[in-house]
Amino acid sequence: MSFRIMVTFFLLIYQAKSLRRYITWDDMKIHQDKDHAEGLSFANGDDYNGNESRVIVVDQKGRGDSLTVQAAVDMVPFNNSIRVKIYILPGVYKEKVMVPASKPYISFVGDPNRASETVLSWNDKASDRYKDGSELGTYRTASVAVESDYFCATGITIENTVVAVSGEYKKQAVALRIAGSKAAFYRVRILGTQDTLLDETGSHYFYRCHIQGSVDFIFGNARSLFKECSLHSVADKYGAIAAHHRNSEKEETGFSFVNCSVTGSGVAIFLGRAWGNYSRAVYSYCDIDNIIDPSGWSDWNQPWRQRTAVFGEYACRGKGADRKKRVSWSKSLEFKEAVPFLDTDFIGGENWLRL
Ligand SMILES: *[C@@H]1O[C@H](CO)[C@@H](O)[C@H](O)[C@H]1NC(C)=O
Ligand SMILES: *[C@@H]1O[C@H](CO)[C@@H](O)[C@H](O)[C@H]1NC(C)=O
Ligand SMILES: *[C@@H]1O[C@H](CO)[C@@H](O)[C@H](O)[C@H]1NC(C)=O
Ligand SMILES: *[C@@H]1O[C@H](CO)[C@@H](O)[C@H](O)[C@H]1NC(C)=O
């Protein structure tokens, strides 16, 4: 039996067990102690506490099960139903990675204290061409794209190394595109310039992550909580952090930043721009450096969006948090109004997060 067939075989055996529709800390940990050896391959993997999981080790130097992250994802069977932890050893992995919708319950795990040493790196930009000759466009530039549910990641860096100079043609270059319905990221570094994090659809939790970019560097129509993250601008002329794409009052989507730090290169940027008519972004308890355009928020030159966009700030501090010159259609929230945005309830976490 080839190794790949064997792996698939072992995974199929465990498919029969019940689905676990939530994410725990355990999903982001590799157990190496002898009593609970998950094994560094499938064959000797064991139940840990009765929680089903398997580990695939990725190592560029050939000491694991796979040399690349994509090859590890490819080993996971379609319609996977148990947690598969892809344990990525330090190194710069120059590859474009796609986790398809048919492969839920995948974790990318590095060492949470050394996230900068395990790097998934690619460099597509919107003006590049796809195989068939068509222009890639922003969405297809992602260095890492995740379309499956219950994905989580920790201890890694995901980057797109294209440097977008403001005003240059189609330099949008996504590092991470996340479109699964539920996902959690802990101590993940997401680096790029224009359009770094495409937080496309679904409910997502970013905890203690570092996100770097220039223009609209967190964008999409997901419902996401960014807690204790550092948001770092590398804008050279202008820029914006959040470009949320909510288009109707009925959508429960939005970006909530809680207890984050906002720093940058010194160029004035917006906290957010109204990409959709009902764009929604709220900053609470954030520490904001002196890099924010005093007006704070932009209507994307579509003045009617001023009536429907939901842009709020609550109890932020730092020079960039001064609201004296803010656009009148943004809001200084009362505590009561901020409450729905302050914790994982905002992303329905009670149903799918056990952290
Ligand atoms: C699975 O792991 C979690 C902690 O991560 C633990 O609370 C739970 O009891 C475990 N399940 C079983 C069946 O032991
Ligand atoms: C995966 O599940 C879908 C829907 O249940 C099914 O149609 C498909 O055949 C399955 N694929 C595999 C490879 O089992
Ligand atoms: C903000 O995060 C720090 C740790 O980074 C924590 O000590 C503090 O209690 C948090 N503050 C709030 C208001 O959540
Ligand atoms: C946004 O609002 C404008 C003005 O009311 C309207 O013309 C446009 O169709 C709306 N866009 C969407 C996607 O609903």
Q: How many CB atoms within 10 Å of residue 91?
A: 16
Nearest residue CA, atom 7 of ligand 2?
A: 79
Residue with tokens 């937080």: 199
Q: What is the DSSP secondary-structure string of 82-93?
A: SEEEEEE-SEEE
- Give the pLDDT of residue 44: 37
CA of residue 268 to ligand 1 center, whole Å: 47
Q: pLDDT tens digits, residue range 147-200?
A: 999 999 999 999 999 998 877 888 999 999 999 999 999 999 999 999 999 999
Maximum Cα–Cα distance across the chain: 70
Nearest residue CA, atom 12 of ligand 4?
A: 247
Active site residue 289: no
For the record, the structure tokens of 238 come out as: 């202008």
Nearest residue CA, atom 5 of ligand 2?
A: 79
CA of residue 231 to ligand 3 center, whole Å: 16
Residue 306 pLDDT > 90: yes
CA of residue 245 to ligand 3 center, whole Å: 28
Nearest residue CA, atom 4 of ligand 3?
A: 228
Q: How many CB atoms within 10 Å of residue 33?
A: 8
Length reported for the chain: 355
Binding site membership of 351 for ligand 2 (Cβ less than 6 Å): no
* From 19-23, 142-146, 211-215, 260-264, the region with the lowest mean pLDDT: 19-23
CA of residue 259 to ligand 3 center, whole Å: 6
Nearest residue CA, atom 5 of ligand 4?
A: 304
In Å, what is the CA distance from 2 to each residue of 7, 61, 71, 193, 300?
A: 9, 21, 15, 42, 55
* Gap between the Cα atoms of 86 and 96, Å rounded: 16
CA of residue 277 to ligand 4 center, whole Å: 6
pLDDT band at 102 (very low <50, low <70, confident <90, very high): very high
Binding site membership of 306 for ligand 4 (Cβ less than 6 Å): no
Q: pLDDT tens digits, residue range 31-64?
A: 875 444 454 444 334 444 456 789 999 999 999 9
Q: Among residues 81, 90, 89, 75, which one has the least CA distance to residue 42?
A: 75
**Which ranges of the chain does DSSP label H, i.e. alpha helix?**
3-15, 69-75, 305-308, 335-338
- Give the pLDDT of residue 164: 87
Catalytic residue among 27, 124, 195, 216: 216
**Proximal ligand: closest to the CA of 29:** 1
Q: Among residues 332, 320, 166, which one has the least CA distance to residue 237?
A: 166
Residue 83 pLDDT > 70: yes
Q: pLDDT tens digits, residue range 325-346?
A: 999 999 999 999 999 999 999 9
Binding site membership of 277 for ligand 4 (Cβ less than 6 Å): yes
Residue 10 pLDDT > 80: no
Binding site membership of 15 for ligand 2 (Cβ less than 6 Å): no
Binding site membership of 24 for ligand 1 (Cβ less than 6 Å): yes
- Give the pLDDT of residue 43: 37
Q: pLDDT tens digits, residue range 215-262?
A: 999 999 999 999 999 999 999 999 999 999 999 999 999 999 999 999
